[in-house]
Structure 1
Amino acid sequence: MTTALTAVSFWLSFEALHDLASAHRLHGERAWAWPATVDAFIAIGELLILRASLMQRVDWAAITLTAVGSLGSIALNVAGVGASHDPLDYVTAAVPPVAALLAFGVLMRQAHGFLVSRQSVLTAPPVPSAAPVTAPVEAQPAQESLESEEPVHSPVDKPVMTEEPETVTEPEQPPGELTQRERIDLIVRALYDSLGNRRPGTRHIRQALADAGLPNSDGTCREARIRVETAEPHLRDLPDAIAA
C-alpha cells in the first residue's frame, strides 16, 4: 500500500508539472522529462537519508536536497494553477507533492526497519562459537601420540604413562592457552565483523594471520574459512569483501 501510494502521488505530481512544462514551450519527451528535474530530488534525498541512517550518522546534504526538491515541487504545482478565486484549487495542486514526500519517507522507514532486523540476525552468533569446531580435532592427536609412545618406554614407566592421558586435557585449558588452529579460526571469524558483515578474501585472511605471527599460506587461509563457515553456515550468504 505504501508503494502504491508513493507511485500514485509521484504520478499526479508529474502530470501537473508536465502540464506546466507544456504550457511554457516544452513539448513531447521534453515536457515529460522536465518534472524529473524537480521530483527526482525527493527520491534521491530520501535514499541518501536511508543510507545515512543505516550508517548511524546524519547527512545534512541529503536532508537539504529533500527539502529543496519538496518545496520546489509544491511551489511549482501550486503555480501551475494560475489565478484562482477558489483556495481548494491550490490545496488540490499541493497535495500530490506533499503526499509523494511523506509516502516515500514512510517507504524508506519500512526499508530501514527490514535491513536493520536482517543485519541483527546475521550478526547474532557470538565469535567464540567457532572454537568448539577445532577443539575436539586437536585433542585426538595428543592422546594418540601419548598412546603410541607407551611401548617405547620401559615397563617401569608404564604405571605413570597410563595416568597421564587422564590429567592432560587440552580442551579444558584456559582460554589464554588456545591451540594454533583455534587462534587461526578466531582471527578469521573476527574478520567477518571487522569487514562490516562481509566474507573476507584470502588476502584479508593472510594479512591478519601474518600480523598475528601465524601460518598464512593460501591453503591455510582457505581451510580456516571453510571451518568457520561450516560452524556458521549463514556466513556463506554474506557478500564478499573487496581486497584492498
Structure 2
Amino acid sequence: MRPPRPDAVLIQAAIAGALSFAHLHDLAAAAGQYGWKAWAYPVSVDLLLVAAWRRMRMLRAAGESARAAWTWFAIALAASLGANVATAGLLDLDHVPTWLRILVAGWPALAFFGGTLLAHSSRETATAPPVLDDEPPVYGQPAAVPEPEPAPAPEPLPVAEELPSLLPAPAPEPAPAAAPPSPALPAALVEHARKVADDHRARTGEPIDTDTLRARLGVPPQFAAAIAAQLT
C-alpha cells in the first residue's frame, strides 16, 4: 500500500488559513474582545466565507440568481482581508480606533444574520404537477341545457275544391316531419367523449352505446345522441 503523498495545494491552504486565523484573532483581541471571544471571531469569519461560497456554487449550478450569496461572500472576504492588512503594521494595535471597535463588536450580529439567510434560503419553486396527455380532463357537473323546443306541427294543406268529376280527387300526401335541430357541441366535450368511448372499447371490447355515454358524461339525451353520431 502506497503511503499518502502530500498535496501542495492542501498544505498551502492550511498555511494561509492558519495565518488568516491568527490575524483575525489578534485584531479581535486588540479591539477589546478577550479570551475565547477573540478565538471565535476567525471561526465566524471563515465559516461565513465558506458557507457563502458553497451557496453561490449551488445556486449557479441550478441556474438561479446568486446575488445574495455573492454579497455575503464579499462581506466575509472584506472582513478577512481587512484583518490581514490591518495587522501588517498599518494599524497601531495598542490604540485601535473607535470605529474599528464598533465594527468588531457588531460583527457577530451581522454574521448571524448572514448565516441564517444563507442556511434558510430555499431553492425550490412550487410547480404545478404535469398533466399527462392520456389523462382525460375532469369536467364539472354540466350546466343544465335547455330542452330544444319541439318543431311546430305542419299546417294542413288546403283541400282542393271538388271538381265536378266522376273520379274522386287524390288525397294529398302528408309532409315529412321536420327533424329537430342538432345542438351545438363544444369541441372539448366531444374530445372527452371520444376518450371515454375508447376507454369503454378497451375494457369491454364493444363500442359504447348512447345510454352508457350519456350516463358517463352526464348530458341530456339530445347531447348524447349528437355526440354518439359524431363518434361513429
Asked whether the two chains share a fold, i.e. TM above 0.5, the reply is: no
Which protein has the bigger helix share? Answer: 1
Q: For the pair shown, which has the larger CA radius of gyration, 1 or 2?
A: 2
Q: Which has the higher contact order (CA 8 A, sep 6+)?
A: 1
Which bracket does the TM-score occupy, shorter chain normalised? 0.3 to 0.5
